[in-house]
Amino acid sequence: MELRTPRLNLRLLESRDWAFFQQLNQNHIVMRYVAEVPDEQSLKTLFTSRIATWEKGQDNWLTFIIERRDNNEPIGLHGLKSSAQNPQQAELGFMLHPDFQGQGFALEATQAVIDLAIKTQNYSSLIATVTAGNNASLSLLKKLGFTHLNTLQKNYQIYETWYDDIILVLEAE
């Protein structure tokens, strides 16, 4: 499975992508609003789960590596997490290397994943959780039509700091 946009290719994450996955997940700027930087063993376990076969309705991620079309350089990760509890809804998530933030790449990639989720996989809604303070992601998702569903106060801890989780939803039309 591959998604194409004018500037990007999104292809399924594969074992050959370990070095980039590791670099991205150990970058403190990227992880600031995502999670604590994991140790290598935890990261390998996470990576293995992300390259596993995906099936709609199971509790796992369909993970894409985002590459620039002009030079095939990896710039980020994007994905959908299916839910066994609610098979008509998926969670959307993405991470972009800091060198490529603020250039519209996340918007372009997210629109492609939304189209896949709603038009091809027939999800009725998408959920996104944004850690309070991550204003760039919040703004991007609102620009794409996500609306505020709920805010969970002091719901998520990264290192010693507790953050609110902002839950957004996009309903299929």
CA distance 36 to 45: 15
The pLDDT of residue 59 is above 90:
no
Residue 173 reports pLDDT greater than 90: no
Q: What is the pTM of this model?
A: 0.94
Q: Which domain holds residue 68?
A: 2-171
CB burial class (10 A; 0-12, 13-18, 19+) of residue 108? middle
> What pLDDT score was predicted for residue 52?
84
Residue 84 in this model has a pLDDT that exceeds 90? no
Mean pLDDT of the chain: 95
CA distance linking residue 5 with residue 103, whole number of Å: 14
Between the two ends of the chain, the Cα-to-Cα distance in Å is: 24
**CATH number for position 89:** 3.40.630.30
Name the domain count of the chain: 1
